Structure 1
């Protein structure tokens, strides 16, 4: 049974989520503030975290950044009343895997939980190879610490930005990012370039990864929206 931790300071929302997690076959546990939340992450080792952004003691942004910096890759879905795109991007920049805004429907929440867990398991989470973080998708293996990418046993060389862009898409596999979101996350929010910069880098990455495969085998174009890693 998958264990899901809810870090939420509103009692009614917390209890509603706990009830529906149990109904859907999950082991739900809860924390009512940021300090208790980060403590429970370390003690309980949940399979997924539902994380409110505005928390007493320690914000959701801070919790997410702290976990990622210590190497904890547990899937995180951020929950907040904020709906501005900048807030969503900030949450994703902090290391969240997905984002859901209040008020939300229970069916939507459960669908997002299932989707994030499925993507996390499909990427095989992050496996460790001699202490290095390795992201595996099909016959592609990315060693994060060594900045190495192997496809079918052959090393593929990337520029720094190509590597960072590919890494970001693979870490959030299945999530669709607009060109502006990718530009902000990889090049920085103050970057003065154009969104076509993203298109050029995606094209270069695809060319290097193709090796006879469909160009969109790893990175798919979502018409009118942006890109996602398959």
Structure 2
């Protein structure tokens, strides 16, 4: 799942990004409101962590613009202001939750999970597809009780497929979902990760085409 952090405190942004990356989220960052709005307007994100006070475009205005154009991505507002009126302004602007600085990374992670659950209609404690099972809470994946030792990108790739059922993903869509904009690799990288994931699934006893190629279109999970 992909998260955008819009925060001008670079030390805080880096700490939050590192913590979320360790939890297998794909993270992108912006240090001003204009850049944050352009990224949120152009790319798909599952959650936006948004500072209230930003250069060029403040968080309230950014959130209002996103909502006015129909962008329903959940927004967690981050701010040092802790008065009731400030919280009301943020929530009325379209934010889904509000976290006051300074905060513990553990609390931020819990609020992140809660917002993602709330906005994922197909969310379940464990994602399954036949004998394949992935637990987002423990970040563990198995096939017929055989552990899958996945790299972070393989884990995110498998989670993306499991959350989307039979949806077909092109290589460019996979790049958009799993890599940050500033370090997006070539499409051959997707082929390499698909190949590696298939090999690990096969070694655990899964059909070799559990992730099938839809020629000319992309990849999807094979029908059970």
Q: Provide the secondary structure at the position in 1 that maps to 2:54.
A: coil
Aligned equivalent of 2:41: 42
Could you state the TM-score of these two structures normalised by the residue count of structure 2? Answer: 0.54
Aligned equivalent of 1:70: 69
How far apart are the structure 1 equivalents of 2:121 and 2:43?
23
How far apart are the structure 1 equivalents of 2:99 and 2:121?
22
How far apart are the structure 2 equivalents of 1:100 and 1:28?
19
Aligned equivalent of 1:86: 85
How far apart are the structure 1 equivalents of 2:42 and 2:15?
23
Q: Provide the secondary structure at the position in 1 that maps to 2:120.
A: helix
Structure 1, unaligned runs of 5 or more: 125-230
Structure 2, unaligned runs of 5 or more: 124-224
Q: Does structure 1 retain, via aligned residues, the 8 Å contact 2:41–2:66? A: no
Matches within 5 A, 1:79-118: 79-118=78-117
How far apart are the structure 2 equivalents of 1:89 and 1:4?
24
How far apart are the structure 2 equivalents of 1:10 and 1:46?
21
How far apart are the structure 1 equivalents of 2:63 and 2:57?
10
CA drift of 1:65 comes to 0.5
In the TM superposition, structure 1's runs of 4+ consecutive aligned residues that sit over 6 Å from their partners are: none
Matches within 5 A, 1:84-163: 84-122=83-121
CA drift of 1:82 comes to 0.3
Cα deviations across residues 73-104 of structure 1 (Å, max 9, x unaligned)?
00000000000011001100000000000000
How far apart are the structure 2 equivalents of 1:32 and 1:50?
12
- The number of residues matched between the two structures is 123
Aligned equivalent of 1:32: 31
Q: What root-mean-square deviation, in Å, do the aligned CA atoms of Structure 1 and Structure 2 show?
A: 1.3
Could you state the TM-score of these two structures normalised by the residue count of structure 1? Answer: 0.52
Cα deviations across residues 156-194 of structure 1 (Å, max 9, x unaligned)?
xxxxxxxxxxxxxxxxxxxxxxxxxxxxxxxxxxxxxxx
Cα deviations across residues 118-161 of structure 1 (Å, max 9, x unaligned)?
0111399xxxxxxxxxxxxxxxxxxxxxxxxxxxxxxxxxxxxx
